Amino acid sequence: MKRIMLFIEPSAAQVNIFTQFTLPRLGSFILAGLVNRRGSWNARVFVEGRKQFDLAAWIAENGRPDVVGISTITATVKRGYALAKECRALGIPVVLGGPHVTFLPDEALAHADLVVRGEGEGAMNALLDFWSEGYVEATDPRYAAVPNLSWKDTGGVIQHNPVAPWVTDLDALPVPDFSLAGGTADCVIGGKRTVMVQTSRGCPFDCSFCSVTGMFGRKFRYRSVASILEELRRYDTPNHFVFFCDDNFTANKPRARELIEAMIAGKFRFQWSTQVRTDLARDPELVRLMKRAGCHTVFIGFESVNPRSLAEMKKSQSLDDIRQAIGVVQQTGIHIHGMFVFGFEEDDWNTVEATVRFARQMKLTSAQLLVLTPLPGSELYERLSAEGRITSFDWNLYDTHHVVYRPAGFTPFELQCAQVYGHTRLYAISECLRKLVTGRWVSAGLSFYAWKINRDWQQDNQPYLRELAARHEFPGSDSAHSSNLASGIRWVDARKRPARGAIPAGFLGGGVSQSPGRVVVPAGCDPVHNSPGAVNLG
């Protein structure tokens, strides 16, 4: 009988803008493909999202796994640790992988038998060689030969093995087979089955808040056009939608052009989207070709409209680059999902106001306002840890929607208010309706969705918001480091910030039906007692 290896992708605890889209990361599927190349193993995958993983039910249906592999990012790692505990309680060994445990392997080893750091293919192949007769106890000294592995020896001492070179021949990797997930990876958006395809790894840039280069390196590695086309043929129907999950799809423009021209020649019937940088606009012809090849939306990290913040994050892009990119892309009719981040050292309420204004003026199809987050593996994490500015190590909050550090230009609570305020302004019901009547259907649909997520987020996060408000500090005032909200409000009133924002009543649990007195008013944020979606400027 074949041995069973089960890969699990845990879900994040918190609602976020992607909650409805159960798009799995590809690691579990690629590694499961490697396992299935071995005749004596049978790999399966479970993607949490719509459904929580139930170990007993899974075993009843599929048999007891010999090994469980759990894939983690920071926002999902606590759930991953809980799943690991359940498996180990039944004596099933657990291997953890993914970006979070890559950078914090010592923490991860408290929850698992083995931890794989970085790219997992080399380690997985070595483990399968080693397990040819079945799983081997985690303390066996022969584990020292497995690249990228962290493990504990017989003396309980943690060992971090050296890492293997990056995978160079990406064509040799298995094509992700989503059927291994028994339906849990199926993601239907707007009636179309959405699938992820990766055509490259690595990014030549090194933005301070990003952990991609630590995971996959700065050298841009890519698959051959022939291998990508072969994978794409699986999805060649108008009922599919392909998301190319490369970090920087057009990092190498000649190769991007070659691929896109081949897609045009192949007359693929699906539409697609991908992540690009603003530098794509330096080649407008390439953008026009992308549109011809069926590109529906590009996701662009604009990050900031504050030039000092752009310099600080080392994104190597200017405000002019951002404007130019928007112009070039919009001319072709490709939609833009723009991502902005608040909380850099030079950001304040003016940045927030300017960003909201900018996103509206530029008529982006959708915009996402994220809170700067020190993800393990990023330069930002190292710096803020060294400066003692990280205020929460609750990994569930590391989803770019929560404030987990002490920013310079805001208090943590103000920064949280800023993000919610920004979304509330961008996705007020009046905005959604305005888009509807002006015929911006896609944008209007997304706005309604974002309005709902923003509302759900506030409801789900009441305890977190209350705690953050209670810890609210008032820099520069006599009542500095006070947790007394009343003095905070007095401080803000006295200071009369030029562009302070307002957030809707109900943000902190006061509903529209409640008397104003019951609404907890965060300093820096005026309450507005009208509809839950409404806001005004202070």
Residues that bind ligand B12 (CB under 6 A): 12, 16, 18, 21, 23-28, 30-31, 69, 71, 73-76, 95, 97-100, 116, 119-121, 123-124, 198, 210-212, 216, 245, 247, 375-377, 399-400
Q: Which of residues 457-476 bind ligand SF4 (CB under 6 A)?
A: none
For residue 222, give both structure tokens.
């890519």
Alpha-carbon distance 12 to 455, whole Å?
18
For ligand B12, the closer CB: 26 or 519: 26
Q: Using the 8-state DSSP alphabet, how is residue 8 labeled? A: E
Give CA torsion, residues 382, 388, 393, 399, to 10 deg.
-60
For ligand SF4, the closer CB: 41 or 249: 249
For ligand B12, the closer CB: 167 or 436: 167
Interacting partner of 411 out of ligand B12, ligand SF4, none (Cβ under 5 to 8 A depending on kind): none
Interacting partner of 207 out of ligand SF4, ligand B12, none (Cβ under 5 to 8 A depending on kind): ligand SF4
For ligand SF4, the closer CB: 76 or 275: 275
Residues in the chain: 538
Residues 209-248: x where in contact with ligand SF4 by CB under 6 A, - otherwise, as a string: -x-xx---------------------------------xx
For ligand B12, the closer CB: 164 or 264: 164
Interacting partner of 76 out of ligand B12, ligand SF4, none (Cβ under 5 to 8 A depending on kind): ligand B12
CB of 119 to ligand B12, least distance (A): 4
Sheet architecture: strand order including 240-244: 188-189, 192-197, 240-244, 271-276, 295-303, 335-342, 366-371
For ligand B12, the closer CB: 179 or 514: 179
Q: Residue 280, interface with ligand SF4 (CB under 6 A)?
A: no
Q: Which of residues 476-495 bind ligand SF4 (CB under 6 A)?
A: none
Residues 299-338: x where in contact with ligand SF4 by CB under 6 A, - otherwise, as a string: --x-------------------------------------
For residue 317, which amino acid is it? Q
Q: Residue 203, interface with ligand SF4 (CB under 6 A)?
A: yes
CB of 360 to ligand SF4, least distance (A): 24
Q: How far is CA 217 from CA 38, 197, 210, 417, 436, in A?
A: 28, 19, 12, 35, 43
CB of 251 to ligand SF4, least distance (A): 8
What phi and psi, each to the nearest 5 degrees, are found at residue 3? -80, 150
Residue 466, CB half-sphere, CA atoms under 13 Å: how many?
9
CB of 75 to ligand B12, least distance (A): 4
Residue whose structure tokens are 């995958």: 45
Question: Angle, nearest 10°, between helix axes 284-292 and 253-266?
Answer: 30
Q: Residue 206, interface with ligand SF4 (CB under 6 A)?
A: yes
Alpha-carbon distance 183 to 194, whole Å?
13
Residue 57 CB neighbour total at 10 angstroms: 10
Alpha-carbon distance 36 to 100, whole Å?
26
Q: How far is CA 358 from CA 206, 252, 305, 352, in A?
A: 25, 29, 8, 10
For residue 337, give both structure tokens.
């999902």
Q: Where does this chain bind ligand SF4 (CB under 6 A)? A: 203, 205-207, 210, 212-213, 247-248, 277, 301
